[in-house]
Amino acid sequence: MLGILLPLILFVALADTISNSSWIALERTMLWSLRVETESMLSQFAVWCSMLVTVISVCILCYLLYRQQWRTALFWLCSVSGAAMMCNIMKGTIQRARPELWLDAPDTSFGFPSGHATHSMAIVITLLVLLRLSSWHKVVLLSGFLFAALVGLSRMYLGYHYPSDIVAGWMVALCWVMTLRIIFNQNYLTLQAGQDTVLHFLHKKFLL
Residue-level pLDDT at 206: 35
Q: pLDDT confidence of 118, banded at 50, 70, 90?
A: very high
Buried residues in 95-129 as b, exposed as e (16+ CB within 10 A): ebebbeeeeebeeeebbbbbbbbbbbbbbbbbbbb
**Taking a C-beta distance cutoff of 8 angstroms, is the pair 166, 117 a contact?**
yes
Q: Find, among 182, 166, 79, the residue nearest to 123 by Cα.
A: 79
Q: Read off the pTM.
A: 0.72
The amino acid present at 42, given as its one-letter code, is: L
Whole-number percent of the chain with pLDDT over 90? 4
Whole-number percent of the chain with pLDDT over 70? 75
